[in-house]
Chain A
Amino acid sequence: MPGTKLLYTALLAVFVPAILNAATLNGFIKDASDGESLPNTTIALPALKMGTLSNASGYYAITGLPPGRHVVVISHIGYRTQLDTLDLIADQALRWNINLSVESIRLQEETVIIADRLGEEFRQQTGFSVLQAQDMQQMPAVGESDLLRSLQLLPGIQAASDISSGLYVRGGGPDQTRILLDQVPLYNPSHAFGFFSTFNPDAIKDVSLYKGVYPAAYGGNLGALLDVQNREGNRQTLSGRGGLSLISGRLLLEGPIGTGAWMLSGRRTYLDPVLSAVRASGANVPSYYFYDFNGKFSQRLGPSDELVISTYFGQDVLDFDLDAETFFALNWGNRTLTGRWSHLFSPTLFGRFIAAFSTYESDTSLSFFDTPVLFDNSVRDLSFKADFDYYVQADHTIAAGLLLTDYKFTFRQTFNQRQQLDLNQEPWLMAAYVQDDWQATPLMHLRLGSRFSYFTAGQRLSLEPRFSLSYELQPGLRLKTGGGVYHQYLQLVTTEGFSGGDYWLPLDASVKPSRSYQTALGLDWEVSSRYRLSAETYYTDMDQLALLDNNTVADSEETRSTDLFVTDGTGYAAGLELFAERRLGRLRGWLGYTLGWTRRQFPELNRGRTFPPKYDRRHDISLNSSYRQSKWTWNLSLVYATGQAFTPAGARYTLRAPATGLFTDRALPADRNSARLLPYHRLDVGARRAFGLWGSEAEFYLQIFNLYSRRNEWFVQYDTDEPETDPKVVKMLPIVPTFGLDFKF
């Protein structure tokens, strides 16, 4: 049985420490300024050519170290590299916690501070992007800075319109991107019909985006993964930050408590009094506001245990009372509550246990001349999750985990006091993954993993192998590749223009879950600490796609997925992304270019022919830069993209409406999305000036969205009331100047 012998040998090689009497070095790495954990920090012993990275909780362990004196180097981009000498004795497990200080880099007369907490993941994982919270806050925006809108400037990510914060990543729709806040899914991360996202910029600690080929620890969506980590709170001192913009005010307070920290942040719009005054003058405007709240509380329960409790809730409330019999009311919001317990079973086995509760509710009620219509949709996600990191050897870290989610979906539609739809589903999702991070050679890092999942609706069992490889061709120059299989059991019901009142529905036994096969290949060159260049190609093949059927007759007692969606779709997305970044200096920023194609094909749509989705863009260029000069910071963002696809009219004809017999002049739609709107381009600029405010730091900002007021095209409507068919182009936002104040104490 040579095969069995080979397997046995391989297992021994992985699981048995290489050196008898070996020592283990382990501990937590934190930011010295506020005590926040630092994931993906490199801990290296150069003389032994051994090292590892800290995990998501900042924990690291290196096993198999020979006894003796060793030089240890702890490095993290943006932090001062720390060198220490340690004496290890045989069989010792040395707990060594490290606090890293942010590095101040002095360039000429300017001090520029960069902290790149997730830089190592960027080096190892293809398709990975990082957005610094401080960069996000400096980007010009409409009203106030917004995470999702900032991400739309990265190569490979599109926006559907000026008023949408939806992410269209690498040729996928917003439903194909999983959005997590502190490991909990957010089902509608938007305020104000998608104009803003639910993420309060003050509360954000780290943002990591896998544009594709995300690792086995995650699952559930065909395309991308956005993982937002909120701040844990300042463990050193009481501090705060906040801001006032034209539309909202926000405040974050944080500080130490016991053996941990706390953080509370809130944001609310203050448009209500303005709208109320406008209404009082007789104009028909709705009443509208949104708010959100983030809270986190952490306690270290001992040297091996930490408990973190976090919550988020946010709500959008719109009321439009037009008349006694005609009104429109829309409320939607997310709520999450998460408990996380981290436990160190041994120096080499780290565990995280999460119990999370996430709900999303959307209620729409309207009355049109005394005819009431109600829609309500809710998603409840109750999840239990366990993740383990096992530091087998210095060059092997095995991660494994389990997930159990109890979903509850409801979707009801009532028209004229009669229930037309009443969908209730309570499926379970069970998933398990295992992944090995293997430093195969000093130059090659491999991540091999697989995810298994079982969804009770339709009894779907999926196996999803994943891999990524990073090979250092020469110092700073890496070749990265990756691939994987992904399944999606939940389907988002939304429009491509704006989000708000979106619905999530599970795919039941009548429809197979959508599936994608992703591959990516890229070259990443860190030219210096100042410059980084990358080029990446991707190809995603999709099948079993489901798309909301716009022509669905939502009037059925037993609605199944096959009634709501067009199914059996196939598609692909392919592209090339080029990215150049200047990370240090007075002038910082990036230039990105994407060349992309994406296509869909459904037997029931477009007479079975292939078509591009609206967000298919051949070219997309974005430039984002900031220039710091004394107390001033100047920002500039520039976007150019191929116009979005739309369905043009190919002919005109007359046909009676069958029930009324009225002859109706009509435009005949040509092939789906077979024409293009004019190219989209926009220049946003902003200026910020720092000043002292009652002993605290503050910044006043002025931002101008769409500086040259380019009226980009949004969609086309055809008017056939006159003998000449009149196409009307609806345009997007003109120039929008805004100003505000941010402060920190």
Chain B
Amino acid sequence: MTHYLAWIIALFCACAADRQPGELFGPLEDDLVVVDVQLIVDAPLPPVHLSRTLAPGTTYTAAAAALSGAVVAIRQADQIIDYTEDPEDPGRYLPTASVATLPATLYRLEVLLTDGRQVKAQTHTPDRLQITQLLLLDEETLLPRRELKLFAELGEAVYYAPENQIFYQQGLLEARVAEEIDIPAYQLAIFNLEEDSALLIDADFLEEDDLAEFERKGASPPLAVRKGQARLPWFAVAFAGRHKFKIYAVDENWYDFIRTDPDGNGGGFGGLLGDQFQRPTFNIEGGIGLFASASVDSVGFTVLP
């Protein structure tokens, strides 16, 4: 019996093998073209960033990944806007003319690389989005406590308006948009505009390293803005001071990417134990990345400790 057991243990120990470096990487997909362009309605056409994928086992640098020398153009209806590479920043291409992005318009991206590869993508910009009200609700009754001022009323002075001073975790902040538009989803984003304001989170269970990881920018997963109402969750606010709260009305490409991005906030379920590490939906012909559009509006307020 003892010999039998020893033999089995020896056999299975022999089966044990250690990992070799690189074994945990899959079939290489280096040198794929990566497109990075986000059109915002009413803003000027943005730069086009072109790079390439590198093998995961190598050291990644932006310089090594940049794709230079490409011929880049964006078609806006019948108009073609050519791009030229920024000599200061390889892989970044700038429009040769200042053209505003139109709502409800089809845009096409065309890229021709020096090695002859072509990349194409298209996006249909959403209609304009307008925030009409910013309210502080009572957490219990969900009735408005007060109405905050909008950029349309006070401009940048909203951050200092008495109505827009709110205490951390007191009430629920709700933005209301004029009307829902025909888009697949919205995305909310919060920006703390201070550089070194106090961290408001004071939880005993967090270590210093955890506290250092809180960021001043954050975005939600794709959401519905039902009945025109979008609420800001308090866990998105970590620092004191001025905040800009943006609501994006996103197109299909933006929506597909953020709902499938394993590095993002993910969707509603899943995401555990590597299940969510799956290829995002890119909607790029001849490459990967994002060529997407959104319309956006924002509100501003100041969080007091």
Contact = CB atoms under 8 A, between A and B. Distances in A.
Q: Name the interface size band of chain B.
A: 35 or more
Nearest to B268: A554
Interface in A400-436: 413, 415-418, 420-421
Interface string A649-670: 1111111111111101111111
B60 interface: yes
A655 B35 CA distance: 8
A636 interface: yes
8 contacts: A417-B172, A551-B259, A657-B219, A658-B254, A665-B60, A725-B60, A727-B24, A729-B19
Residue of A371, A648, A653, A716 with most chain B CB atoms under a 10 A cut-off: A653
Interface in A643-699: 646-662, 664-672, 674-675, 678-679, 681, 683, 685
Interface in B197-251: 201, 203-205, 217-224, 226, 229, 231, 233-236, 246, 248, 250
Contacts of B189: 659-660
Interface string A533-552: 00000000000000011111
A652 B142 contact: no
A555 B222 contact: yes
A554 B260 CA distance: 13
Contacts of A678: 16-17, 19
A495 B169 contact: no
A87 interface: no
B263 interface: yes
B240 to A, nearest CB: 14
B203 A323 contact: yes
A648 B26 contact: yes
B285 interface: no
A84 interface: no
B280 to A, nearest CB: 8
B274 A650 contact: no
A605 B36 contact: no
Given A369-B235, A668-B32, 19 more contacts: A322-B205, A497-B273, A550-B278, A553-B267, A555-B222, A650-B27, A650-B28, A651-B30, A653-B52, A656-B290, A659-B246, A668-B56, A669-B277, A672-B278, A674-B26, A675-B24, A681-B16, A723-B61, A724-B59
Closest 4 A/B residue pairs (Cβ): A554-B268, A670-B26, A648-B26, A550-B270
Interface stretch (B5-13, B94-102, B104-112, B150-158): B5-13
A555 B186 CA distance: 11
A669 B279 contact: yes
Contacts of B289: 653, 655
Contacts of B275: 495-497, 550
B51 interface: yes
A718 B60 CA distance: 14
A655 B235 contact: no
Interface in B1-52: 1, 5, 8-9, 12-13, 15-17, 19, 24-30, 32, 34, 36, 38, 49, 51-52
Contacts of B258: 658-659
A555 B234 CA distance: 19
B56 A660 contact: no
Interface string B166-193: 0001001000000000000101110100
Given A664-B263, A683-B12, A553 B54 contact: no
B53 A718 contact: no
Contact of B226 (A496, A551, A557, A652): A557
B57 A725 contact: yes
Contact of B26 (A495, A650, A656): A650
Interface stretch (A72-80, A474-482, A707-715): A707-715
B236 to A, nearest CB: 8
A745 interface: no
Contact of B268 (A552, A715, A724): A552
A556 interface: yes
B305 interface: no
A640 B266 CA distance: 35
A412 to B, nearest CB: 13
Contacts of A528: none
A323 B51 CA distance: 44
A415 B233 contact: yes
A627 interface: yes
Nearest to B259: A551
A326 interface: yes
B28 A651 contact: yes
A640 B278 contact: no
Nearest to B201: A369
A648 B34 contact: no
B267 A554 contact: yes
A718 B272 CA distance: 14
Contact of A651 (B29, B172, B262): B29
Contacts of B161: none
Contact of A659 (B58, B248, B270): B248
B62 interface: yes
Contact of A715 (B8, B218, B226, B274): B274
Interface string B75-94: 00000000000000000000
Nearest to A667: B56
Contacts of A714: 273
B277 A647 contact: yes
Contact of B56 (A325, A715, A725): A725
Nearest to B9: A708
B276 interface: yes
Given A417-B139, A675-B26, A723-B60, A716 B257 contact: no
A443 to B, nearest CB: 39
Contacts of A606: 278-279
B294 interface: yes
A492 to B, nearest CB: 12
B65 A658 contact: no
Given A371-B233, A551-B266, A655 B204 contact: no
Contacts of A674: 26-27
Contacts of A702: none
Nearest to B229: A418
Given A553-B185, A658-B38, A370 B271 contact: no
Contacts of B235: 368-371
A660 B56 CA distance: 25
Contact of B222 (A369, A550, A553, A720): A553
B69 interface: no
A649 B204 CA distance: 36
B59 to A, nearest CB: 5
Interface string A300-319: 00000000000000000000
Contacts of B270: 495, 548, 550-551
B288 interface: yes
A413 B223 CA distance: 13
A660 B191 contact: yes
B34 A655 contact: yes
Nearest to A681: B12
A318 to B, nearest CB: 16
B162 interface: no
Contacts of A646: 274
B174 to A, nearest CB: 9
B25 A727 contact: yes
A652 B55 contact: yes
A307 B117 CA distance: 77
Contacts of B36: 654-656
B32 A651 contact: yes
B266 A323 contact: no
Contacts of A716: 24, 274, 277
Residue of A420, A651, A653, A715 with most chain B CB atoms under a 10 A cut-off: A651
A369 B169 contact: yes
B292 interface: yes
B59 A323 contact: no
Interface string A135-171: 0000000000000000000000000000000000000
B26 A322 contact: no
